[in-house]
Structure 1
Amino acid sequence: MRRSFVELYSHSLTVSANTTMDLRESITNQNDVAFSIANHILSNHSGNNNIVFSPLSLHVVLSIIAAASKGPTRDQILSFLRSKSTDNLNSSVSHLVTIVLADATPAGGPRLSFANGAWVDHSLSLNPSFKQLVNNDYKAVLASVDFQTKAVEVSKEVNSWAEKETNGLIKEVLPAESVDGSTRLIFANAIYFKGAWAEKFDAQMSKDHDFHLLDGNSVKAPFMVSKKKQVISAFDGFKVLRLPYKKGEDKRLFSMYVVLPDAIDGVSALLEKVSSERGFLERKLPYQAVSVGDFRIPKFKISFGLEASNVLKELGVVLPFKDGDLTEMVDSFVSQNLYVSSIYHKSFVEVNEEGTEAAAASAVTMACGCARFPTKIDFVADHPFLFLIREDLSGSVLFIGQVLNPLAN
């Protein structure tokens, strides 16, 4: 008998890690960390702007740093990611890459691309076990480069790689002058997603309506509308909408969720609630289609970037950026002096009547030295809200963001 995706996924994790691993618990931990990071970014780094980022992309970067380190540095990363061991992290990432994030277009589903790359200075030799891990579990492309005399050229090569892997949406994951002669290794990943709605919106029905801003003003923005039943759950203070993407022949289910506070200025308090309770949002996701009264969702396009290393330091992950302990990475005494200098992250998302196109890229540089279901419900996203793109069968969250003004890019 053919086993379900979750059974196969759980079995493969168990076999590769040689231990019993609860897939749901692992994903829940990953998502709890994601919302904690999101809450911090939105509270301290958004500047009252629209944002989008890929927690999955950052999770992979931190996992590879954990695998490269030992001692207190490794322990600190594992504690932050709420993982018991690097084996669990590596096994989880491996199966996310090979199963959850495999391209779905051959089966008629969303277009997906998740790629990892490592650029290593030619003066260093990767530890064989670490090289095997990067090749096999992270499916990374490895390149030997000359940072000491060609740092600018390497930076351009990494940026070109990220642009290609994200279908041209992320053009410069590495800022100018972020790579120099002291750089010894860059690890980067890129994720691209493009999905069509299972039920597309009629573009001819889209109309301009008021979108209320946090400062009390409003703007006229184009809204998508529908009279068809929608998958919505309503709770005290907020509502959650599920917009499924067209499904392929495999078992994966991708959806966008819009988390809408009742209050115009309620997005910050809502995210605080989501990030403070373990598995909070998982318990609030809607599964029942209901008839709608007034239903409006704004079109939007967001491009956002940040130096994620600053965010991680503020959240308590400090040792990789000073003490290093990255001794599991290379066969050289130089490994004693390796440390993470920066982690850069850029994301893009566009939502319209056809569906969603989204991308993100991260690059780390290492240097030496209960619901109610009414018969009819309104869902009018005419004020700031949260959104996420999720693979529903595994529960993995690919992107998280907030829309404060749909006209601002």
Structure 2
Amino acid sequence: MSSLSEAIIHLAIDLFHQIRKSEKENIFLSPLSISSALAMTYLGARENTASQMQKVLHFNKIAENTRGGAAKEHVEKPGNVHHHFQKLLTELKKSTDAYELSVANRLYGEKEFRFLQEYMDNVQKFYLASVESADFKNAAEESRKMINSWVESQTNGKIKDLFPKDSLDSSTVLVLVNAVYFKGQWNQKFKEEHTAEEKFWLNKDTSKPVQMMKQTNSFKFVSLEDVQAKILEIPYKGEELSMLVLLPNEVDGLQELEDQLTAEKLIAWTSPQNMGKREVDLYLPRFKVEENPFLFLIKHIKTNSILFCGRVSSP
């Protein structure tokens, strides 16, 4: 596992635990998107700001990344976080017919503000980002609509209003935008005739009817006796991406599983040494894997990078 993928996993778990304090329903986030967007900011940070960002983003776990900021001798040093992101984003951008995956970065800078050219060049080089001028000072609303339009196009229409009205104004100087879009099919398709209405249990006393897809097949699987849960890996077509499902053994065991979840445990649980193939009866709710609430992660297998993660408590 690369040091960058570990940093993204640590950030994913940190964010998940913060969000779940206030969000009791479904959770969906993209650690890759958040990490790469903040890394572009980190690229321009100095001294204490860079040090604090490095700690929060877990970039201090990456070899050759003991210094932060945009100092030339640091940025150009092979092995630092920016070089790792360059390799990762280049890998994710490789074309394939198996699935749709788009990772796009763009900077919108106030046209009257003078940005350090070295920073702009490095953002393009390491984060494959395009740089656009915007007239926030005189036309903030038009600039907001322009940015939202780009995000909508990059996410195939799924995100239509990233920046709500009045979120940008004449004081805005720089907007960093990251958009990740993924659409894939299961490597082993669910047959339509095996889909039927069944109960999805929200807790021991409450259920709701859902269209439940079924199949029996061989999947990577591990049973975790210490936390009374199991993990199943479901590959997408092409077997370059997969969904990891973390399912408690008991209907009401999700909170306990979440309480015990750490990045170190997740890395150990899902290691190749632990995940072995076995025949599994899989029940997966048809929603945008099983009959109980669960946690999930969608990862890029070659780079072991977490693209999306979250919780399904009510499909």
TM, length-normalised to structure 2: 0.88
Verify the 8 A CA contact 2:297 2:306 in the aligned structure 1.
yes
1:40 maps to which residue?
A: 18
Distance (Å, rounded) in 1 between the aligned partners of 2:157 and 2:148: 10
Instruction: Map residues 38-187 of structure 1 onto 2, 5 A cutoff.
Output: 38-44=16-22, 46=23, 48-84=24-60, 85=65, 86=68, 87=75, 88-99=80-91, 101-105=92-96, 108-187=97-176
Aligned residue type for 1:169: K
Verify the 8 A CA contact 1:198 1:247 in the aligned structure 2.
yes
Instruction: Map residues 2-401 of structure 1 onto 2, 5 A cutoff.
Output: 24-44=2-22, 46=23, 48-84=24-60, 85=65, 86=68, 87=75, 88-99=80-91, 101-105=92-96, 108-214=97-203, 216-236=205-225, 237-247=228-238, 253-275=240-262, 278-285=263-270, 287-292=275-280, 294-300=281-287, 350=288, 381-401=290-310
Aligned residue type for 1:213: L
Q: Shift of the alpha carbon at 1:27?
A: 1.7
Q: Shift of the alpha carbon at 1:54?
A: 0.2
Aligned residue type for 1:263: E
Verify the 8 A CA contact 1:103 1:113 in the aligned structure 2.
no
Distance (Å, rounded) in 1 between the aligned partners of 2:81 and 2:31: 14
Q: Shift of the alpha carbon at 1:393?
A: 2.1
Distance (Å, rounded) in 2 between the aligned partners of 1:115 and 1:128: 21
Q: 2:256 is paired with a residue of what secondary structure?
A: helix
Verify the 8 A CA contact 2:124 2:130 in the aligned structure 1.
yes
Q: Could you report, residue by residue, the CA deviation over 1:75-134 in whole angstroms, capped at 9, with x for unpaired residues?
A: 1000111223344221122111111x11442xx322111111111111112202101111
> Larger RCO: Structure 1 or Structure 2 (Cα < 8 Å, ≥ 6 residues apart)?
1
Distance (Å, rounded) in 1 between the aligned partners of 2:310 and 2:139: 36
Verify the 8 A CA contact 1:104 1:110 in the aligned structure 2.
no
Verify the 8 A CA contact 1:245 1:255 in the aligned structure 2.
yes
Aligned residue type for 1:284: W
Q: Shift of the alpha carbon at 1:157?
A: 0.6
Distance (Å, rounded) in 1 between the aligned partners of 2:159 and 2:258: 26
CA RMSD of aligned residues (A): 1.7
Q: How many residues matched?
A: 294
Aligned residue type for 1:397: I
Q: Percent identity?
A: 30
* Unpaired runs of at least 5, structure 2: 69-74
Aligned residue type for 2:248: P
Verify the 8 A CA contact 2:88 2:303 in the aligned structure 1.
no
Aligned residue type for 2:283: R
1:402 maps to which residue?
A: 311
TM, length-normalised to structure 1: 0.69
Q: Could you report, residue by residue, the CA deviation over 1:112-160 in whole angstroms, capped at 9, with x for unpaired residues?
A: 1111111111111220210111111111111111111100011111110
Distance (Å, rounded) in 2 between the aligned partners of 1:25 and 1:182: 37
Verify the 8 A CA contact 2:4 2:81 in the aligned structure 1.
no
Verify the 8 A CA contact 1:212 1:383 in the aligned structure 2.
yes
Q: Shift of the alpha carbon at 1:255?
A: 0.4
Runs of 4+ in 1 over 3 A off after TM superposition: 84-87
Q: 1:279 is paired with a residue of what secondary structure?
A: helix
Distance (Å, rounded) in 1 between the aligned partners of 2:6 and 2:205: 36
Q: Shift of the alpha carbon at 1:283?
A: 2.0
Aligned residue type for 1:395: N
